[in-house]
Amino acid sequence: MTATVIDGKAFAAKVRGLVGEGVAKLKADHGITPGLAVVLVGEDPASQVYVRSKGKMTVEVGMHSIEHKLDVATSEADLLALIDQLNNDPAIHGILVQLPLPDHLDSDLVINSIDPAKDVDGFHISNVGLLGTGQKSMVPCTPLGCLMMLRDYHGSLSGMNAVVIGRSNIVGKPMAQLLLGDSCTVTIAHSRTKDLPHVVRQADIVVAAVGRPQMVPGDWIKPGATVIDVGINRIEKPDGGTRLVGDVDYDSCAAVAGAITPVPGGVGPMTIACLLANTLTACCRANGLPEPEGLTA
């Protein structure tokens, strides 16, 4: 068996297209332009690249884009004051504070100071609670992207056995909630799980989000299962260079699975696409307008 490759790059382009259509309709019908503000504290190279990419794509879909780049020594009071200003700005519908923050800043305090309705990362404790109780919320971008790809590939997920490897607040836990919401039977596995290979082999859907390069081999995968690889790990090549790999061993898993996401080009592109989708959704909700179809959970 050779797995079908789920092309996240192509699917993300489709999602951005839908977002662009939604933005154009908002402008034409209501004179409203969705606005996204991204706050970057410090000069982390990976964060800088990510923020530039977000800003470029925000503009491409027709949204209003603002970037606040703050010095690494910015005080917590000054950062909270900026967030308060953005909370009260009617032109801003989504606020994203790029993580990780410098050590002297309390990430939980900062994230929970964002207006939950503008929390397009879905990390605010109110959105976590709403998602966990099956209510309307802002949904974390990476798990939302995974869910979209699964729905697109399978149609209905009802009754499927899903194993999420990883219990982070950013991916593992919200992913499990979303799969439950689509009527999967869900197991959250982690480093302390007894006989992890046996647990994973029961799954029709495997979502690997542990941050360990190529941890999941093909002999853990049930024949025909769908494998969603959230991991992005940089490893050394024999020639001294580096390459990106996921949390699953792609070649051995692709030989057994029914479908699989590659790394790179799988889940990664969907994260920014879903950030844009969340911003459009937040704008529609703020203005009492119907939400765009197919762009949220």
What amino acid positions are annotated as catalytic residues?
54, 98, 121
According to the model, what pLDDT value does residue 237 have? 86
Whether 205 has a pLDDT exceeding 70, the answer reads yes
Average pLDDT score, the chain? 96
pLDDT digits (tens, 9 = 90+) for 50-62: 888 889 999 999 9
d(CA 215, CA 246): 8
According to the model, what pLDDT value does residue 36 have? 98
According to the model, what pLDDT value does residue 240 have? 84
Q: What pTM value is reported for the model?
A: 0.95
Could you tell me where the beta strands, DSSP code E, fall in the chain? 4-5, 35-41, 64-70, 94-97, 161-165, 185-189, 205-208, 226-229, 233-236, 242-245, 259-260
* Three-state secondary structure call for residue 207: strand
Cα-to-chain-centroid distance, residue 61: 18
pLDDT digits (tens, 9 = 90+) for 240-278: 889 999 999 999 999 999 999 999 999 999 999 999 999
Q: Report the b/e string of 172-185 with b at 16+ CB within 10 A.
A: bbbbbbbbeebebe
According to the model, what pLDDT value does residue 62 have? 97
Whether 184 has a pLDDT exceeding 80, the answer reads yes
**CA end-to-end distance (rounded Å), the chain:** 31
Whether 295 has a pLDDT exceeding 80, the answer reads yes
Whether 232 has a pLDDT exceeding 70, the answer reads yes
Of the candidates 113, 221, 112, 118, the one whose C-alpha atom is nearest the C-alpha of residue 169 is: 112
d(CA 193, CA 166): 10
Residues 6+ apart with CB under 8 A from 240: none
* pLDDT confidence bin for 70, thresholds 50/70/90: very high
240 close to 254: Cβ distance less than 8 angstroms: no
* pLDDT confidence bin for 1, thresholds 50/70/90: low
* pLDDT confidence bin for 117, thresholds 50/70/90: very high
> What's the one-letter identity of residue 197?
P
Element (H, E) at 252: helix 250-254
